[in-house]
Structure 1
Amino acid sequence: MSAEARNSTRFWLTIAALLLLAQIAGEAMMGRVWICTCGTVKLFEPAVNSAGNSQHIADWYTPSHIIHGFLFYALGWAVLRRARLAPRLTLAVLIEAAWELLENSPLIINRYRATTMAVGYAGDSILNSSMDTVSMVAGFFFAARAPVWLTITIALFFEILTGLLIRDNLTLNVLMLVWPIDAIKQWQGG
């Protein structure tokens, strides 16, 4: 890689890191808690309908953020086809950071409470939200290196697994946020 290409890559990766820091700062200014109010930090929170959900490093929604990375890699490939990987990654981080800020706004938190199974949802901790973005980055890099068939297979596996285990996944989450269906909400409630 030439010195110019290395400098360009550094520039775009710096912008991506600054976007993540802006996400964190934005959430702090919104009054989001840094870690779970329980005072502990867990690697994984297994309970979906609990005060610890969306508060720790990973949870059952982490696979959906990995899938975001798969999808944003495909988007970057489609719209920035001639660009190197780093500008595409920066676009992906921009979209994910914007979503995390929106997702943790009162508008979306209240929408989740009203239309999804997340009745007591209080939003993400800053730790969880920033790790959601890191999970997206991991998914992005995986999609950049893996064959398309494997990326699609893993995305389907994640959707089916979380659908079966917690009655929610990326597809259901988006559907219920945009166009709630009472039958699905009842099924999700168990």
Structure 2
Amino acid sequence: MSNRLSPLLVTLGIILLMAAWLLWIGREPICTCGYVKLWHGQVVSSENSQHISDWYTPSHIIHGLLFYAALWLAAPRLSLGWRLAIATLVECIWEIVENSDAVIERYRAVTISLDYYGDSVLNTVFDVLAMILGFWLASKLPVWATVALIVLFEGATMWIIRDGLALNILMLLWPLDSVAQWQAGR
């Protein structure tokens, strides 16, 4: 029993350490608006990435789907629990980097996220939990369904909010004026 529990305890520990680090560097525990919402649907808003879920939650589910596939290929003999711990570590490192002052300023400079000042710790923890959901789904679903989910989530967020995981990565690494204008509705 303890062998099965170990990766889960490590996974939980990684999430707690990430949350503690974010609090230590001054990230807000919850939205500065003073309340917590299950869903916040307005992208261009100072409350975006401050509540439990938002339009970027699907991108974190996609992270989990992709991490499962990558670890299934790279470490097929590793138990599912330890692959989840590794995926959680990668996601938490990304969340710490994403909430660094340098990356926050980069988002504000080259994306549609002008009112973005970093995620709340609550939102960050739920982003990691969304990744874990995606990882779990990938472990249960056939490959075609996993691919369909990625296409559905990316297509829906691009259509509804003019953003998504692929566009987010593109605009962080190689911002294009034409994409920025399209995202702004021009």
The alignment's TM-score, normalised by the length of structure 1, stands at 0.96
Partner letter of residue 69 of structure 1?
G
Query: Which among 29, 35, 60 is matched to residue 34 of structure 1?
Result: 29
Q: Which residue of 2 aligns with 1:57?
A: 52
Q: Which residue of 1 aligns with 2:112?
A: 117
Q: Distance in 1 between matches of 2:94 and 2:32?
A: 23
Q: Which residue of 2 aligns with 1:8?
A: 3
C-alpha deviations, 1:29-88, integer Å up to 9, x for none? 110001100111000001000111000000000000000000010111111110110000
After TM superposition, list the pairs within 5 Å mapping 1:111-190 onto structure 2.
111-190=106-185
Partner letter of residue 155 of structure 1?
I
Pairs aligned (count): 185
The alignment's TM-score, normalised by the length of structure 2, stands at 0.98
Identity among equivalent positions (%) equals 48
Partner letter of residue 168 of structure 1?
D
Q: Distance in 1 between matches of 2:24 and 2:82?
A: 27
Q: Distance in 1 between matches of 2:169 and 2:65?
A: 16
Q: Distance in 1 between matches of 2:118 and 2:34?
A: 16
Q: Which residue of 2 aligns with 1:3?
A: none
SS at match of 1:34: coil
Give the CA RMSD over aligned residues. 0.7
Query: Which among 21, 32, 47 is matched to residue 42 of structure 2?
Result: 47
Return the offset for 1:9.
2.1
Partner letter of residue 16 of structure 1?
T
Structure 1 gap segments, 5+ residues each = 1-5
Q: Distance in 1 between matches of 2:152 and 2:128?
A: 21
Stretches of 4+ aligned residues off by more than 4 angstroms: none
C-alpha deviations, 1:73-116, integer Å up to 9, x for none? 01111111101100000010000000000000001100101111
Return the offset for 1:123.
0.6
